[in-house]
Amino acid sequence: MEALRHLLFRLRAVFQRNRLEREMAEEMRFHLARRAAEHVIDGMPPDEARNAAQRAFGGVEQIKERARDQHRIFWLEDFVRNLRIAFRQLIKSPGFTLLAVITLGLGIGANTAMFSVLNSVMLKPLPYPDSAQLDRIFRTTAQNTEGGVSPADFFDLRRESDRYGEVAACAFTDASLSEPGHPAEMAFGVRATANFFSTLRVQPQLGRDFRQGEELRGNDRVVIISQRLWQNRFGGKVDIIGRIIRIDGIPHEIVGVLPDSFNEWRHLGWVDLFRPLGLDNEKSTDRRAAMLQLIGRRAGQVSRTEASNFIAQFGARLAKNFPDANTGSTWRTVSLNETVEGRRGGTPAIFAMLIGLSGFVLLIACSNLANLFLARTIARAREFAVRAALGASRSQLLRPLLAESLLLALAGGGFAILIAHWIGDWFSARASAGTGLPVTVVFDGHVFGWALAAALVTALIFDIAPALFALRLDVNETLKSGARGSTGGRGHQRFRHGLIIGQFAFAMVLLAGAALFIRGVYELNNTRAGWKSDHLVSGTILLSPATYANAAEMTTFRRLALERLEALPGVTSASISWRLPYFVWRDTRKIAVEGRIPPQRGLEPAAVVNGVTSRYFETVGTRVLAGRAFDSRDTATSPRVFIINQTMARGLFGNENPIEQRLVEIDGDTRVSGEIVGVVSDLQSVLPDIVPVAFQLYQPLAQEPRAYTQIAVHTSATTAPATILAGVRAAMMELDPDLPIRRLQTAEDSIASSNFQLDVLRDVLSCLAALGLGLAALGIYGIIARTMAQRTGEFAVRLALGAGIGNITRMVLITGVKLALVGAALGLAGAFGVSKLIAAGYPGIHATSVPILIGTTGLLIGIALLACWLPARRAGKVDVIVALRAE
Amino acid sequence: MTAKSKLVQGTLEMLVLRVLSRGDLHGWGITQKLEQLSKNALRVEEGSLYPALYRMEARGWLKSEWRITENNQRGKYYSLTRTGRKQLEAEKESWNKMTAIIALVMEPQ
């Protein structure tokens, strides 16, 4: 406290020097006046009185000086003075200052923007109070490390959970949402236990939370909606509570609206509707259907270890008590904040890459600045030498330089925050445009801290060069060498060449990384392996269980729907299937060939499975290579039939004819055997994140109908697919007004929007690469230009001795290109590392390509040549006489 | 003017604190008060007083404020802070101890 007051007093003395001086003078004047007045009262004449007072007082200036010493902080005053000097220096050369601030701003800005995205996606804790106490509870099995839990297991856990805290469960169930007079809409839905929101400590902003009794089947016709749905669908009307809407055809009452902050896509994704769990008695006692996702809030006194031990023991008990359902499964907890979207899969690897690459841009910017600073310091070598000769210590020489870079770093940092903000807005806009769901990039203290830290580290790095120079300054040599003292010695030359090599190495990594990625994404987006997307329209439909209670009703609906769709003008064929060819198929089943000795249990080959209607293959453009497609013979009651892809045919049967062979499809305990009736070409999906399963198996949709399916409509060569969208929607509406169609769009649009993340990433990488390359080009240009200026004398001598202009230009170019080549060679190693990171993030992308690497090396050398050629041209214009005379 | 005693080294601050403990004063007032209290036996040099005042202010013992004086001029008044009061007590105590010890040495009984 004492020390703080002391410091404040002294700080005042530093910053309010003028006021203090004025007050001190006035105080002493007052004192003198009073003493003089006293002398006058004693009878002295006024003049004499003043002199006597002055004599008695002593030297006013000496006293002032001694008084000043009382409130001085020497280092701070010194620092402020240095800042002032630095500021004046920077103002004096506005071109240099502007260049430096822009370079820094771009470098730090790119880096800070990447960090702000990383912060928003990965680091920021979820917006639930005390979110550190929240856990996800997973049931780990051989197939799934983040598996769900069956209802019966959950209810057991909830009964025993007082030693843990509170547990809640939810299940994802998309639902159709309709009201009279509105087209039906498919909504992202979740069914949750009544304590779900209270466990998260979230309260509805309007209305109420679920009540305990509403968990039971029959009482569950209430719904809590998200802020987003409230705004978008219901116009944010306050009288929304109590309104009845139809969900899956059943009337539900809206009882609550969640707050805006709950729209946290990183936890549950974008959910529109929350309904109570609503399990019937049969479901509640089910131990097999692992349909529930569990979250828990640890009670305050329960440590993380105790909690995870408790959960693990509970899992072990289940495995012992119910071996049929639970053998081989274990339970574990993971902090909820660690399970956010951005921390899953390849995302961390991609972020590591982005932060690293933007760091490279910053380093390139740094080395440009180091070069600029070094040049300026060298130009001022004589000034430094004179000051050193007059007794300035090295640290005194260095301090104004440090102050200068500090000011530049702060200005650059400020500019960088602006740039990062723009990039953040752009990123939000891009990310939201891709999905229609808002993704926000937050600017919080962490981001500002990052920008500041980056600015200071940068200042330190680009200060090293001039600092080393100033410290090694040889006063005698510099003063003796006269005007030529400003050329800089061999050591500096080497240092600058080192910087150029480094810049080109980093630029190479950036360029090659971006190029490899762009090529990978392009390939992915444009590969149409085994299917065609032109003249194709697709959409997702979900048949509500209230309207379509059994398989026969679903099949009837589908027959009617396809008839109507195919009757639309311009439509050549239509199909309904579990999956579309261009998106990942998620249903994997084990396969065995009938009549062969089956491989050991668990080692059977696996295939991804799709259920399709008869004209699916012609609709999506998958070629039938042998046998037949499905047709009207294949119904729910007819013998089971399969169609397999080429790779599967070759893998299972080699050169044998697969047609009429029999397969067994194994799904858990269910085994279905059927005959192979056809072979079709292989498919490759456009989504990069899953390693494709090579075996693809088709079965008639009627033989295993599902509620959640995709429609595909192929148009004739003369009909643009976008023109039939309205017709498709109307045809479906006519058939069932409660039936929503999600993402009804042309196949091309659907593919483009599914890979929007990759597109954003591609754009970010391209910008980073362009920025890095531009800065590196600027760097080499600056160096060569300076070298040219310094070597004018040497060139003049060479010219005078008969060297041709071409020789000299070539000499300069070779210097530059050599540096660029060495840099590019070093960068190739880094580029290899980047391609590994891309491969880790997106296994489906092929991120190595020799032509790309050769191409980028060529581009880099070309740019280096251009950057060198511009100043090198001037070599030919050296006026020999003038240059030699200047010597 | 009569010959005045020189101040014992290090006692100026204590005396100033003591004077200010009886009321706020400006620099001139402090010199007058000291002379008055010492019955003109002490003469404080301005060259020591002002640096001492600034030093004590920097240490937080005093705070200062511009006010209008009794004869309508602007004067800078110093007053004791709480720390200053504590400091005065501490100095008084050590002074008393010191004089007692010196007395013991000079006039052993």
ipTM: 0.83
Whole-number Å distance between alpha carbons of A644 and A873 = 66
Tell me if A31 and B54 make a contact (CB, 8 A cut-off).
Answer: no
A28 in contact with B at a CB cutoff of 8 Å? yes
| Residue closest to A626 by CA, chosen among A600, A653, A608, A605 | A653
B 68-87 near A (Cβ less than 8 A):
73-76, 83
What average pLDDT does the segment A239-244 reach?
90
Note whether B92 contacts A: Cβ–Cβ < 8 A: no
Chain B residues in contact with A31 by the CB 8 A cut-off are 27-28, 31, 46
Q: Say whether residue A66 is in contact with chain B using an 8 A CB cutoff.
A: yes
Q: Taking a C-beta distance cutoff of 8 angstroms, is the pair A401, A463 a contact?
A: yes
Instruction: Please provide residue A681's backbone torsions phi and psi, each rounded to the nearest 5 degrees.
Output: -70, 160
Are B75 and A30 an interchain contact pair (Cβ–Cβ within 8 Å)? Answer: yes
| Chain A residues touching B27 at Cβ < 8 A | 27, 30-31
Which residues neighbour A377 within 8 Å (Cβ) at sequence distance 6 or greater? A384, A401, A465, A466, A469, A470
Q: Residue A485: pLDDT band by 50, 70, 90 thresholds?
A: very low
Judged on CB neighbours under 10 Å (0-12, 13-18, 19+), A494 is exposed
Task: State the nearest Cα–Cα gap between B75 and chain A, in angstroms.
Answer: 7
pLDDT in tens, A792-832: 777 788 888 877 777 878 887 888 888 888 888 888 888 88
Find out whether B40 and B2 touch, Cβ atoms under 8 Å.
yes
Average confidence (pLDDT) over A426-436: 73
Could you give the C-alpha distances from A440 to A121, A266, A424, A767, in angstroms and in order? 9, 11, 8, 21
* CB distance A242 to A254 below 8 Å: yes
State the average pLDDT over residues A202-207: 90
pLDDT at A489 > cutoff 70: no
Verify whether the Cβ–Cβ distance B73 to A30 is below 8 Å: yes
* CB contact A58 to B (< 8 Å): yes
Residue A486 has pLDDT above 50, yes or no: no
A371 vs A132: CA distance, rounded Å: 47
Return the percent helix, strand and coil in chain A, to nearest 5. 60, 15, 25
How far B109 CA lies from chain A's nearest CA (Å)?
A: 44
Which of A56, A57, A70 lies at the smallest CB-CB distance from B51?
Answer: A70
Question: Chain A residues with CB inside 8 Å of B26's CB?
Answer: 27, 30
Give A59's contacts in chain B (Cβ within 8 Å): 47
Angle CA(A876)–CA(A879)–CA(A884) in degrees, nearest 5?
120
- Phi/psi of residue A207, nearest 5 degrees: 75, -150
> Which tokens hold the place of A637?
């009651």
For testing contact with chain B, the best of A17, A31, A60 (most B CBs within 10 A): A31
Instruction: Kindly determine whether residue B46 and residue A10, on different chains, have CB atoms separated by under 8 Å.
Output: no
What tokens were used for A688?
């990069």
Chain-chain contact of B58 with A27 (C-beta, under 8 angstroms): no
Query: What phi and psi, each to the nearest 5 degrees, are found at residue A162?
Result: -65, -20
What distances in angstroms separate CA A45 from CA A48, A52, B34, one per listed residue?
6, 10, 26
Q: Is A624 on the interface with B (CB under 8 A)?
A: no
Q: How many residues does chain B have?
A: 109
| pLDDT value of position A795 | 79
Over pLDDT 90: what percentage of chain A?
A: 17
Give me the pLDDT at residue A369, please. 84
**Cβ pair A856, A508 in contact under 8 A:** yes
Q: Where are the alpha helices (DSSP H) in A253-345?
A: 265-268, 281-284, 304-321, 323-326
**What average pLDDT does the segment A247-271 reach?**
82
Nearest chain B CA: its distance from A42 CA (Å): 12
pLDDT at A572 (0 to 100): 93
Best A10, A26, A30 residue to mutate vs chain B (most B CBs within 10 Å): A30
Scanning A484-629, the segments in alpha helix (DSSP H) are 490-526, 551-567, 616-620
At position B46, the amino acid (one-letter code) is E
**Residues facing residue A673 across a β-bridge:** A664
- Per-residue pLDDT of B1-20, as tens digits, reads 334 555 565 688 889 999 99
Nearest CA-CA distance, residue B67 and chain A, Å: 12
| pLDDT computed for residue A853 by the predictor | 83
Buried b (16+ CB within 10 A) or exposed e, A190-203: bbbbbbbbebbebe
pLDDT in tens, A448-468: 888 888 888 888 777 766 677
For B32, the closest chain A residue by CA position comes to A35
Contacts of B47 in chain A (CB under 8 A): 57-59, 62-63, 66
Rounded Cα–Cα distance for residues A690 and A683 (Å):
14
Provide the chain A residues 70-109 that lie in CB contact (below 8 A) with chain B. Answer: 70-71
> What residues contact residue A399 under an 8 Å CB cut-off, 6+ apart?
A78, A79, A82
- Give the nearest partner residue to A30 out of B28, B47, B59, using CB atoms: B28
Distance CA B52, CA A314 (A): 76
Chain B positions in Cβ-Cβ contact with residue A62 (cut-off 8 Å): 47
pLDDT of the residue at B3:
41
Residues A274-296: pLDDT tens digits? 999 888 777 778 887 778 889 99
- For chain A, the farthest-separated pair of C-alpha atoms sits apart, in whole angstroms, at 138
Q: Which helix (H) or strand (E) holds A574?
A: strand A571-577
Q: What is the mean pLDDT of chain A?
A: 83
pLDDT confidence tier of residue A601, bands split at 50, 70 and 90: low
Which band of pLDDT confidence, cut at 50, 70 and 90, is reported for residue A675? very high
User: Is the Cβ–Cβ distance between A85 and A409 less than 8 Å?
Assistant: no
Nearest CA in chain A to B56: A70
CA–CA dist A848, A838 (Å, integer): 10
DSSP secondary structure code for residue A723 in this structure: G
Q: What is the DSSP letter of A119?
A: I
> Which residue in chain A has the smallest CA separation from B59?
A6
- Tell me how many degrees the CA angle A375-A376-A381 measures, rounded to the nearest 5: 95
Q: How far apart are CA A109 and CA A103, in angstroms?
A: 10
CB contact under 8 A, B27 and A31: yes
Q: Which of A46-60, A644-658, A762-776 has the lowest mean pLDDT?
A: A46-60
Structure tokens given for A107: 């470098």
Contacts of A56 in chain B (CB under 8 A): 46
Q: Is the dihedral of CA A546, A280, A243, A225 positive or negative?
A: negative
Residue B65 in contact with partner chain A when CB distance is under 8 A? no
Task: Tell me the C-alpha distance between B83 and A316, whole Å.
Answer: 67
In angstroms, the separation between the Cα of residue B42 and the nearest Cα of chain A is 14
Instruction: Give me the amino acid identity at A131.
Output: S
CB contact under 8 A, B51 and A67: yes
d(C-alpha A721, C-alpha A744), whole Å: 11
